[in-house]
Amino acid sequence: MSERTGMPTEQLHFEDVAVGDAIPTLTTTVDQTQMFFFSAATYNGHRIHYDTSWASDREGYDDVLVQGPLQSALLARAVTDWIGGAGRLVSFSAQNRAVAFPGEELSFGGTVTATRLADGRGLVDLEVVGRRGDDVLMPGTATVELPVRAQSSTAAGS
Amino acid sequence: MTVESLIPAEVQERVGTVAAVAVGEVYRRDWQRWAVSVEDHNPLWFDAEVARAHGYDDVVAPPLYVQYAVLGVTPLDGLRADGSSGAVSGSLAFPDAPRRMAGGESTTFHRPCYHGDEITMERRIESIVQKQGRSGPFVLVTWRTTYTNQRDELVAEATTSMIARP
């Protein structure tokens, strides 16, 4: 299991972000307890996530599989942890590329690919990725909105 | 070389149609259970004071949670042999490609969901295509889904896909 992270104490602003910046990487090892609770929370009865003999004998995997939606939720969490309470997730996209098994260390992170002001909104595009070591399990993209510091000080000052 | 089709004709004909409509209530406890299973302890999902300090009316559901708010119930004897429930995906059956796996998801979030919101999901089948992968042929199903709340406001729009293998 990963350390509890939650929100950073300092709110990130649009001006703090530049193309090429990396967001903090979330590193975690999913175990079968977490998989059980995620399946329960998502009403997911798919045996491939809890029935080892089904996963191996019927579907040919080495073990039960970490749920793809759990991996994408972890990837989104890396983003929402980074943007703080005043940030907003505008869009999020992730593709399942490869399977992951419980007990493997996975990492979820991202890089800023573009920043733009649109109608006073500070928008930031990210390339995000879930990995096991160097293997890409889940590539994706996200767009977030961050509060604009210059704008709020203008509004307050003039 | 002729490749056998894994897609039954009656399934192929459903492209463009609404595969599923579902209505569900957003429930704070349920999204909090989801969040802790992701170890996502963001106070916006848990602490009304923090949420209000950031401009929300109350605690909000994690954005990705909206897709689970509409899940219905399936009798245990109505599950597929692999334990999955086909309800939300419109019960598309691929007898020659029974091994299913989530493909990807791409969602745009328009507004937050609060406790008590009633969400309506409408899911259309955008495409069903057979592809050739490294480990053999597979079926890729793509859905377009909208989520609206009880005020008919668009909450989120999603494109999701599923892979089915022989």
Q: How far apart are CA A141 and CA A125, in angstroms?
A: 7
Instruction: Identify the pLDDT of residue B99.
Output: 83
A86-97 pLDDT, tens per residue?
999 999 999 999
B107-162 pLDDT, tens per residue?
999 999 999 999 999 999 999 999 998 889 999 999 999 999 999 999 999 999 98
Q: Indicate if the pLDDT at residue B74 is higher than 80.
A: yes
Instruction: Identify the pLDDT of residue A155.
Output: 47
User: Which tops the pLDDT comparison, B100 or A146?
Assistant: A146
Domains and their CATH numbers in chain B: 9-165 (3.10.129.10)
Confidence of residue B72 (pLDDT cuts 50, 70, 90): confident
A134-144 pLDDT, tens per residue?
999 999 999 99
Instruction: Identify the pLDDT of residue A156.
Output: 44
How far does the CA of residue A97 sit from the closest CA of chain B (Å)?
8
**Cβ separation of B63 and A95 shorter than 8 Å?**
no
Which chain A residue shows the shortest CA-CA distance from B60? A85
Mean pLDDT of chain B: 92
Residue-level length of chain A: 158
B23-45 pLDDT, tens per residue?
999 999 999 999 999 999 999 99
Instruction: Identify the pLDDT of residue B92.
Output: 81
Residue of B50, B63, B102 with shortest CB distance to A89: B63
A46-63 pLDDT, tens per residue?
999 999 999 999 989 999
Instruction: Identify the pLDDT of residue A150.
Output: 74
Q: Indicate if the pLDDT at residue A154 is higher than 70.
A: no
**Cβ separation of A93 and B33 shorter than 8 Å?**
no
Q: How far apart are CA A88 and CA A77, in angstroms?
A: 12
Q: Round to the nearest angstrom and report the end-to-end CA distance of chain A.
A: 49
Residue of B39, B54, B163 with shortest CB distance to A4: B39
Q: Is-contact B160 B103, C-beta < 8 A?
A: yes
Instruction: Identify the pLDDT of residue B90.
Output: 63
Q: Indicate if the pLDDT at residue B2 is higher than 80.
A: no
**Cβ separation of A51 and B83 shorter than 8 Å?**
yes
Rg (alpha carbons) of chain B, rounded to whole number: 18
**Cβ separation of B39 and A58 shorter than 8 Å?**
no
Instruction: Identify the pLDDT of residue B148.
Output: 98
Mean pLDDT of chain A: 91
Residue of B63, B68, B103 with shortest CB distance to A42: B68
How far does the CA of residue B60 sit from the closest CA of chain A (Å)?
11
Q: Indicate if the pLDDT at residue B96 is higher than 80.
A: yes
Question: What residues in B contact A48, CB-CB < 8 Å?
Answer: 82-83
Instruction: Identify the pLDDT of residue A157.
Output: 40
Confidence of residue B61 (pLDDT cuts 50, 70, 90): very high
**Cβ separation of A34 and B39 shorter than 8 Å?**
yes
Residue of A37, A47, A93 with shortest CB distance to B105: A93
Instruction: Identify the pLDDT of residue B88.
Output: 61
**Cβ separation of A81 and B42 shorter than 8 Å?**
yes
Size of interface A-B (CB pairs under 8 A): 124
Q: How far apart are CA A96 and CA A108, in angstroms?
A: 13
Q: Indicate if the pLDDT at residue A125 is higher than 60.
A: yes
Structure tokens at B126: 């955008």
Sign for the CA dihedral angle at B48, B23, B90, A61 comes to positive
Confidence of residue B101 (pLDDT cuts 50, 70, 90): confident
User: Which tops the pLDDT comparison, A135 or B89?
Assistant: A135
Instruction: Name every residue whose Cβ is closer than 8 Å to that of residue B125 and which is 6 or more positions away in sequence.
Output: B14, B15, B16, B17, B19, B90, B92, B141, B142, B143
**Cβ separation of B38 and A74 shorter than 8 Å?**
yes
Q: Indicate if the pLDDT at residue A3 is higher than 70.
A: no
